[in-house]
Amino acid sequence: MTNEILVNILIVFIGIVFSGVVLSNPFLGIVFIAASLPITDLLPSIPFLSSILPLFGGVAILGYLFQNRKKHGKVLKGSRSILVLGVLFIFWIYITHPQAAWFGSDRNWLLTYLQLVILAFLAEELLDDPKKNRIFIWVFSVAAVLSSIVAIQQGYIGEDIDTSIRTGGLSEGANSAGRYFVIGMIFFMHLRTTEQKSLLKILSSLGIIITFIGVFYTLSRTAMVLLFTAIGLIILLNPRRKLNFTLIVLFIISILALTMLSDTAFRILGSIIPSISQGTDTIGLRYKLWDAGFRMWKDNPITGVGIGRYPYELPFYGTDISAGYKHLVAHNTYIQLLSETGIVGLGIWLCAVIISVVNLWKASRTQDLETQLLSRVWFVVMLILLIGAITMTQSTEKFIWICMGVSEYFHLRSLNQPIPEKTVLVNQSPGVRIRRSQPVSPKQ
C-alpha cells in the first residue's frame, strides 16, 4: 500500500513538472503526445480518462491561449479547411446518430473527434518553424527506437506467422507499433540527410537500422509493405539525388543485420502476395469483415449505422464469420467510416485527407530547399498512414490528424508569403532611366 502511494505521488509530481513545461512552451505538448504513441505501455493510467494524453492536450491549449492572448494581427490569414471539415464531421455524426455519438459503449465519440480536431489545430499553430519540427522529429524518432529495441528483444521470427511471436514493443499493439516504426525510420532518413554534425548523422543511421529491423519483429505484414513503400517514395522524391546512394547502403546494411538475426524473416514477407490473392490467414477474415461493412452501408447508405457501431452490427451482417470474431472492427478505415457514417461522413473525412495531401505536395514543390525537405517527409508519412489505413481502422489515429494540421500550416504559410518584387526601367527623360519596383504576379 505504501509503495502504491509513493508511486502515485511520483506520478503526480512528474505530471506537475510536465504541465509546467508545456504551459511555458505549449508546442512541447504536441511533441509529448506524438512521442507517447510508440511507448504507450510506459504511460501511467489516469482515472476516468483513457490515457494521460488528453491532459497534455488540455495543458497545451491553455499554454497556447496564454501565450497568444496579445497576438492579434499576427496570425496566419486564410481559410482553415481542415478545421472546418473536422467540425463538420463532428456535427454529422451527432445529428445522424446522437445516441451512438454521445453514449458510445467504449467512448464518447464527439469528445474523441473534438480532441483530434484540437490536436490538428495545435499542430498547425505550434509546429510553425523548422527548429520546432526538428525537435518533434527527433523526440518521436527516439521513442520509436526505444520501442523497436524492446520489440526486437521480445519477438521471435519463426518459419511462418504461426510459429512466430508477435510483439508491439512498448506500443499498444503489434500493428500500431509496426506503423510507428516505419514513421520513425522515415524521420531518421530525413535527419540523416539534413543534420550537419557527424554524431547526429551516425545516430540517425543507427535509428534507420533499428526501426527497419523492428518492423519485422512486429510480424505486421502491412507494416512490412509500408516499410518498402516508404523507402521507395523517399528515394524517388529526394531532391538531393546524390544522398540516395548513402540511404541505399544503409538499407543493405539493415537487410544484412536482419538476416543475421533471423534467416526466415523474408519468408513471411514472401507470403504476403499469396495471402492477398488466395485470401488465406487473417487476410481472408479481413475480406469477410469488409464485405459485412459494405452490406451495412447498403442498408444505411446516407447516414450509416452510427459511429462506433460496426462491432455491434457485425453479428447481423457477418453471418459467415466465426463467433469468436464477431466483435471485431472492420480493419479498414474507409469501410468502417462508410458503414458507420455513410457516404456523407466518409466524404467529409476524405475531403480533409485529400486537402492535406495536396497541401503537402504543393509545399514540396517550392523553391526553398528547407521547406521542400520538411514538407516531403510529412507528405511521405501521410501517404504511408493512408495506405496503412486499408488494413487498420485509423480514423482516430492521432498522427494522421497531426499531419493534417501540419499540412494546413504549410498551406497558410504559402498564402501569407510576401509577393516578390521585380525592378523595371522607366524612361523619365532622354538618357535618364529610373528604376521602379512593382509586384510580380503569380504567373510571372
| pLDDT tens-digit series, residues 222-263 | 999 999 999 999 988 886 767 778 888 889 999 889 888 887
What integer pLDDT is reported at residue 77 of this predicted model? Answer: 72
| Rounded (10°) angle between helices 221-237 and 174-194 | 20
Q: If residue 48 lies in a helix (H) or strand (E), which one and from where to where?
A: none
Residue 161: DSSP 8-state: S
Domain boundaries, the chain: 1-69, 78-279+317-415
Q: Mean pLDDT lowest for which of 51-60, 282-291, 334-343, 409-418?
A: 51-60
Residue 292 cell numbers, joined: 459485412
b/e string for 128-152 if b means 16 or more Cβ within 10 A? Answer: beeebbeebbbbbbbbbbbbbbbbb
Task: Decide: 99 and 303 in contact? Cβ < 8 Å.
Answer: no
| pLDDT tens-digit series, residues 26-83 | 999 999 999 999 998 777 666 555 566 777 788 888 888 887 765 544 566 777 899 9
Asked whether residue 149 carries a pLDDT value surpassing 90, the answer given is yes
| pLDDT tens-digit series, residues 172-228 | 889 999 999 999 999 999 999 899 999 999 999 999 999 999 999 999 989 999 999
Residue 425: DSSP 8-state: E
Helices (H) and strands (E) in the chain, counts: 18, 2
Asked whether residue 24 carries a pLDDT value surpassing 80, the answer given is yes
Instruction: Record the pTM.
Output: 0.88
Neighbours of 10 (CB within 10 A): 11
Q: If residue 68 lies in a helix (H) or strand (E), which one and from where to where?
A: none
b/e string for 23-57 if b means 16 or more Cβ within 10 A? Answer: bebbbbbbbbbbbbbbbbeeeeeeeeeeebbbbbb
Using CA atoms, how far residue 274 sits from 200, 222, 277, 387, 443, in Å, is 41, 14, 5, 19, 51
> How many residues in the chain?
444
Residue 167 cell numbers, joined: 510483439
b/e string for 394-407 if b means 16 or more Cβ within 10 A? Answer: bbebbbbbbbbbbb
Beta partners for residue 437, in sequence order: 423
